Amino acid sequence: MEFDPTRPKWTQIADVIRQRIATGEYPPNHLISETRLEQEFGVARVTVRKVTAALREEGLIVTTHGMGSFVTGQRPTT
């Protein structure tokens, strides 16, 4: 992915994940792996954690301690 230098990386990654949820590429109960996101986007874990925190606040994912973050049934509002 080519990042826009005028926007924080975490917001751009969050946009990609929102789009994947909206299109059904990430269906309800899909595991959002922090490790996979780190590798896919070439960013640090702290960046990925900002993404998951934002998506949690929006109700798009839920995180269960010891299990991971999963897509809820809610769709993003655009």
- Report the SS3 class of residue 34: helix
Per-residue pLDDT of the chain (78 residues; tens, 9 = 90+): 899 999 999 999 999 999 999 999 999 999 999 999 999 999 999 999 999 999 999 999 999 999 999 999 887 875
Q: What sign results for the dihedral spanned by CA atoms 2, 33, 62, 43? A: negative
d(CA 18, CA 56): 11
Give pTM, 2 decimals: 0.93
d(CA 64, CA 12): 24
Where are the chain's structural domains? 9-71
Instruction: Return the CATH number of the domain spanning residue range 9-71.
Output: 1.10.10.10
